[in-house]
Amino acid sequence: MNTTTQPFRVLFLCTHNSARSILSEALLNHLGKGRFQAFSAGSSPRENQKPNSLALEVLKQAGVSIEGLYSKSWDEFAKPDSPSMDFVITVCDNAAGEVCPYWPGQPAKEHWGYADPSEVKGDDEKKREAFVNTMHLISKRLEIFIGQHE
C-alpha cells in the first residue's frame, strides 16, 4: 500500500512514443484515480512526432482524457531536475532491448511487450480494431498492476 500522499510515478517507454506508451500513460492516469502519475516517452521519437491519431481516437471513445498527451524523448526524464520514477515500464520489444539512460530514483523496471497496432495493414476498421485490442490488453495489465499497489 502506498502510505505516502505522493502518487506512484510510472514512465512508459516505447520507440516513437506515439501508440502503446501513449495508450499506457492515458489509461493509467485514468484508471489509477490519482494514486498513480503516469508519463510516457520514446527512445527515438521521429522529428515532429505526434501521438497516433487512432490511439487518441480510441482513448476518447473509451472516455479517457487525452489532454496533455504529446510525444517526447526519454531524455526529458533523465535530467537531474526530472521527477523521479517509481516504475519504468517498456511496452515494446525494441525499447526493452535498448540501453536506457540512468533514471533518477532507481525505479523498478519491467517489460510488458505489445504488438505495435500502428503496423497493422488493412482498411481503417481493421487498424482501429488493432488499437482497441491493444488498449484492452493494456487496461487488463494495468488493472492487475494497480491492484498490486493498493
Report whether pLDDT(69) > 90.
Answer: yes
Q: Cα separation of 52 and 40, whole Å?
A: 14
Model pLDDT, residue 132? 98
Return the domain boundaries, the chain.
8-148
Report whether pLDDT(100) > 70.
Answer: no
For residues 95 and 144, which has the higher predicted lDDT (pLDDT)?
A: 144
Model pLDDT, residue 97? 63
Model pLDDT, residue 105? 75
Q: In what order do the strands lie in the sheet with 87-90?
A: 36-42, 8-14, 87-90, 108-111
Model pLDDT, residue 54? 97
Report residue 13's pLDDT band, with 50, 70 and 90 as the boundaries: very high
Model pLDDT, residue 125? 95
| Mean predicted confidence (pLDDT) in 62-82 | 92
Report whether pLDDT(45) > 90.
Answer: no
Q: Cα separation of 18 and 70, whole Å?
A: 8
Pick the CATH number of 8-148 from 3.40.50.720, 3.40.50.2300, 2.60.40.420, 3.40.50.1220: 3.40.50.2300
Q: Cα separation of 97 and 40, whole Å?
A: 17
